[in-house]
Amino acid sequence: MKKQIYGIAILLLLSVCISAQTTDKAVEKIRSFYTDIAEKARLCETDDDRGEFGELFMNELVVNKRNHQWRAVGTHNLTYKFFYRGGDSEEHMYPDQLVMVKVERKESSRIYYEEYLYSDAGVLMFYFQKAENDDQAPAERRVYFAGIKAIRITEDGKTRDRLTTNDAVTVKEIAGESGKIKDIFLKTLKLN
């Protein structure tokens, strides 16, 4: 009986270790992809040649660009930067593959910065959020996805691979915002 219990305990320990290694590999792959796309997006924004001839295209949408005061809110400003690619084959003539979105939102003294990274299949694979002057939100949050499932959350330096109930709510909100952002992106393409 003791041998069976000991054997089961070892199997459980091995399964936890294998699961952690799988998550680590997936997160490392996402980080590598993010590093590549983030650099291309940075160059698209800042380098004239890369902005005009680089791999990524960029659309920018600014809400309340002149920082007009909103009643009961104060200053409200929202900026979306959509980075996308495509148009590289006869079957896919026009660029429309969203790869990254940068969102900056200013509400009075609070500032929020977000990034959404999408796979080649258009699935959200990484979310980054930074908040300034907001006691209710974490100063920094990272969420890594495998398919539609969140596999790791890091908030203010603390990492969790097992989601809490609050994490599940947060992930659902992120997925909802991602869907809205993708809709806005598609509408910007139809403005032409």
pLDDT reported for residue 9: 43
Question: Among 123, 43, 54, 40, which Cα is nearest to 88's?
Answer: 54
pTM of the model: 0.84
Across the range 61-88, mean pLDDT stands at 84
**DSSP per position, 78-133:** EEEEEEEEE--SSSS-SEEEEEEEEEEEEETTEEEEEEEEE-TTS-EEEEEEEEES
**CB-based contact 148:123 (threshold 8 Å):** yes
Structure confidence by residue, pLDDT tens digits, 157-181 = 899 998 899 999 999 999 999 999 9
Which of 43-52, 67-76, 126-135 holds the top average pLDDT? 126-135
Give the tokens for residue 107: 């509400």
Across the range 136-161, mean pLDDT stands at 92
In percent, the amount of the chain with pLDDT more than 70 equals 88
Across the range 134-154, mean pLDDT stands at 92
Distances (CA, A) of 31 to 34, 156, 185: 5, 18, 24
Q: Is the pLDDT of residue 151 over 80?
A: yes
Q: Is the pLDDT of residue 24 over 80?
A: yes
Q: Is the pLDDT of residue 183 over 90?
A: yes
Give the residue carrying structure tokens 């598609």. Answer: 186
